[in-house]
Amino acid sequence: MLRHFPPVDIICVHRKRDYIIAAFTFFCVAVCLISDANADLTKQNALGVCGWVFLIGLLLGENREVRMQVAIAVMFATIGEHFASPFMQGYIYRFHNVPAYVPPGHGMVYLTAVALARSAFFLSNARAIATFVVLVCGLWSVWGISGIPEQGDSVGALLFCVFLAYLFKGRSPMVYLAAFFITTWLELIGTAVGTWRWAPIDPVLHLPQGNPPSGVAAWYCLVDAVAIGGAPIVFKLLKSGQQRFLKLRNHFRGFQPGVENK
C-alpha cells in the first residue's frame, strides 16, 4: 500500500526554494481570494495578470519537466473549470465566470504541491503526514454525512474515498499529500469569503455536497495526475515531430529541380 512512499530512512537535504514557493503561494492565495471577495471585473483581471507574472517567475528556477507539468495542469484545469462551473454549475463564482487569476493560480497550486512533495520535511515525515491527512479528511467526511450539519456532504465522502485511492495506489503520493494542504487552504478561504460557492446538490450525482466538499482535494489530485502522466507523452510527441520535421527538411534540401535525385 505504501510502495510509492519514500523509504523510512531516506536522507534529505532542505532546499529553501521549496519552502519559499509554498509560503509565497499560500500567502498569494489568501490575498487574492480575500481581495476578490468584493472586487469588480477590472480588479479580477489585474489579479490575473499578477498571477501570470508570479507563475512565470517561479518557473524560471524549475527544469523543463516541471514546466511542462505546470503547463499541462493549467490547460487541463482551465478546461475543467469552464466545464464544472459555468456549464455544469457544480460551483459558481461571483460573476458566473472563471476569474482571470484561476488559470495561473492552478499553475501555482500545482507547483506548490510539487515543491512540498520534494521537500525534505515531507519526505522525512511522509507516513506521519499521511496519517494526519487521512484522519483530518476522514473526520471531516464523517461529519458531513453524520446528519449533524445542516448541509449534508455525501459527495465529499465519495471524494474522500477517491482521494484515498490516489494516495495509496497512485505513483505520486507525496504530490497528492501536499495538494491536500494547499487545496484545502484555498477552498476554505474562497468559500468563506464568498469568492465562489458549491451547489448544495451536485448536478451529476444529485447528492448533497458541502461548501466545500470534504474530499475536494481529489479533484485537484486528478489535475496533478494528468500533469505528471501527460508530460512524458507530450515530450515524446514533440521529439517525434521534431525528427519528422528535420527529416522532411533534409529531404527538400537535397532535392534540386531539373536534376535526377537518387
Could you state, in order of their start, the residue ranges of all structural domains in the chain? 16-253
Residue 214 C-alpha from the chain's centroid: 16
pLDDT for res 260: 54
Task: Please name every residue paired with 196 in a beta bridge, in sequence order, or none if there are none.
Answer: 93
Which residue is listed with cell 473549470? 81
Query: What torsion, rounded to 10 degrees, do the Cα atoms 119, 73, 103, 110 define?
Result: -10
pLDDT for res 262: 47
In the chain, the amino acid numbered 29 is V
Residue 14 C-alpha from the chain's centroid: 23
Q: Are 91 and 148 in contact (CB under 8 A)?
A: no
pLDDT for res 163: 98
pLDDT for res 247: 86
* Residues 245, 39: Cα–Cα separation, whole Å: 48
Which residues in the chain show pLDDT less than 70? 254-262
* Residues 242, 260: Cα–Cα separation, whole Å: 28
Task: Please name every residue paired with 208 in a beta bridge, in sequence order, or none if there are none.
Answer: 201
* Residues 217, 136: Cα–Cα separation, whole Å: 12
Alpha carbon distance, N-terminus to C-terminus of the chain: 60
